[in-house]
């Protein structure tokens, strides 16, 4: 049924011969539950998400390879979580007392997987930086290089959605953020996370003309204690081993910083059957910052058959995707303050004036390591009681595009 459907994403809930199939897609894999009864689909979706999260915690990563290598461990997990079709538990603290199989780690690394984004140690001059795959290891691992380390990772991840009009005016802007922790500590009674003291929630809390960090709304994990949040902006949580999101927040309509990219496009007809597309892209990040994996996609007329290009630097690549009728321009590294340009000559048999209207809008994707668009920062990370032995605490920031659209 899934392969016969058109489009990339099949319906979450499908029915076939009196069987209901509910699925989520994570790590490039379908996580599917089937039932003959009529339970709440949201319950099953929540269970599948937790099952995928637990599989990632226990196997170290989510991929077809890690599932194949850890089939016995995942079967044991499922056997403890579900009994005769009835959900028993999805708690890491309860499950770790029963799971005996040790994970076989495959250690994958993908910049496009949000769990690995953030680039620990990727071409940085800092000396105290964790390896790229430090957080992608099983929580129960006892052997190997990373096995005995007591570590906790805190990620501040933001997704940027922007629509820019053809006149350069921002028509829509939205930031979705989350604070995610992954804990490898065997015991930790309480962890205190200090956020910006000047953090304000909603416009009603803004005071004076100070450069306060503002978000519109936020929500917290049920285990987070908020008795010190109102006065001191401190989150208190007793972390379980594995990964959990302690806070989610949103900022709409007003970006506190300049947009990371400005695009200056030009489209015109050349000869009889050729379109000239000139793109000048400027990175408005600070000079010491760098954007990674920048890609620009421009829809082209449906009749496009070939393309030639002139790029401003040799590390850039461009191709015409005839199936999608779009040109793709990729830039692996884009330093702050730099400006790049590209000229594309697209051959379109039977080109007309109406065909030029098929060019655009431009969509971009990118990653901005070591920075947040809202300005939210972790002031401190304290463990209580103090851990016996050496414990490592890592904090990383990353912003990336969720939807960045520029109209031509």
pLDDT tens per residue across span 229-271: 999 999 999 888 888 899 999 999 878 888 999 999 999 988 7
Tell me the pLDDT of the chain averaged across its residues.
Answer: 84
Residues 6+ apart with CB under 8 A from 331: 281, 294, 295, 296, 315, 316, 340
pLDDT of residue 323: 85
Strands, DSSP E only, in 165-206? 170-183, 190-195, 200-201
pLDDT of residue 294: 95
Tell whether the model's pLDDT for residue 131 goes beyond 70. Answer: no
pLDDT of residue 140: 64
- Here the tokens at position 271 are 């000869």
pTM equals: 0.75
If 0-12 CB within 10 Å is exposed, 13-18 middle and 19+ buried, where does residue 61 land? buried
- Reported as a single tens digit per residue, the pLDDT across 166-184 is 888 999 999 999 999 988 8
Q: Which range among 89-98, 175-184, 192-201, 321-330 shows the weakest confidence by mean pLDDT?
A: 89-98
pLDDT band at 125 (very low <50, low <70, confident <90, very high): very low
Q: Which residue is listed with tokens 């290089």? A: 145
The secondary structure element, H or E, covering residue 403 is strand 391-406
If 0-12 CB within 10 Å is exposed, 13-18 middle and 19+ buried, where does residue 128 land? exposed
The mean pLDDT of 121-149, rounded to a whole number, is 51
Tell whether the model's pLDDT for residue 88 goes beyond 80. Answer: yes
Cα-based angle 26, 70, 27 (whole degrees, multiple of 5): 10
Whether residue 17 contacts residue 40, with contact meaning beta carbons closer than 8 Å, is answered with no
Structural domains for the chain:
13-96 (3.30.450.60), 156-255+373-406 (2.60.40.1170), 261-369 (2.60.40.1170)
SS3 51: helix
């Amino acid at each position: 049924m899934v392969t016969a459907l058109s489009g990339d994403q099949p319906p979450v809930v499908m029915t076939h011969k009196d069987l209901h199939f509910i699925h989520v897609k994570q790590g490039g894999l379908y996580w599917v539950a089937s039932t003959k009864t009529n339970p709440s689909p949201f319950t099953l979706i929540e269970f599948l998400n937790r099952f995928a999260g637990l599989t990632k915690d226990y196997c170290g990563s989510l991929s077809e390879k890690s599932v194949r290598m850890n089939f016995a461990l995942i079967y044991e997990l499922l056997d403890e979580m579900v009994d005769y079709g009835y959900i028993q538990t999805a708690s890491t603290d309860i499950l770790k007392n029963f799971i005996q199989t040790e994970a076989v780690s495959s250690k994958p690394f993908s910049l496009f997987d949000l769990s690995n984004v953030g680039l620990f140690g990727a071409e940085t001059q800092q000396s105290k930086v964790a390896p790229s795959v430090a957080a992608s290891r099983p929580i129960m691992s006892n052997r190997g290089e990373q096995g005995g380390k007591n570590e906790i990772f805190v990620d501040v991840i933001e997704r940027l959605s922007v629509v820019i009009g053809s006149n350069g005016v921002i028509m829509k802007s939205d930031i979705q953020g989350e604070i995610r922790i992954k804990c490898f500590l065997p015991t930790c009674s309480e962890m205190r996370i200090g956020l910006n003291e000047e953090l304000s929630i909603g416009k009603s809390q803004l005071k004076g003309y100070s450069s306060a960090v503002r978000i519109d709304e936020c929500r917290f994990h049920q285990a987070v204690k908020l008795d010190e949040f109102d006065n001191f902006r401190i989150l208190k949580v007793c972390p379980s081993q594995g990964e959990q999101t302690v806070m989610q927040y949103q900022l709409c309509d007003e970006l506190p910083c300049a947009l990371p990219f400005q695009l200056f496009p030009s489209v015109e007809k050349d000869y009889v059957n050729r379109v000239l597309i000139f793109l000048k892209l400027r990175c408005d990040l600070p000079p010491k910052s760098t954007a990674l994996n920048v890609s620009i996609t421009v829809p082209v007329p449906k009749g496009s058959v070939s393309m030639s290009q002139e790029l401003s630097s040799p590390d850039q690549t461009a191709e015409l995707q005839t199936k999608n009728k779009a040109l793709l321009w990729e830039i692996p590294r884009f330093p702050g303050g730099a400006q790049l340009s590209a000229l594309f000559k697209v051959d379109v048999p039977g080109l007309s004036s109406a065909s030029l209207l098929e060019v655009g809008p431009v969509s971009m994707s990118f990653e901005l390591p070591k920075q947040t668009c809202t300005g939210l920062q972790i002031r401190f990370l304290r463990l209580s009681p103090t851990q016996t032995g050496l414990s490592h605490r890592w904090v990383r920031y990353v912003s990336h595009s969720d939807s960045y659209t520029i109209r031509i």
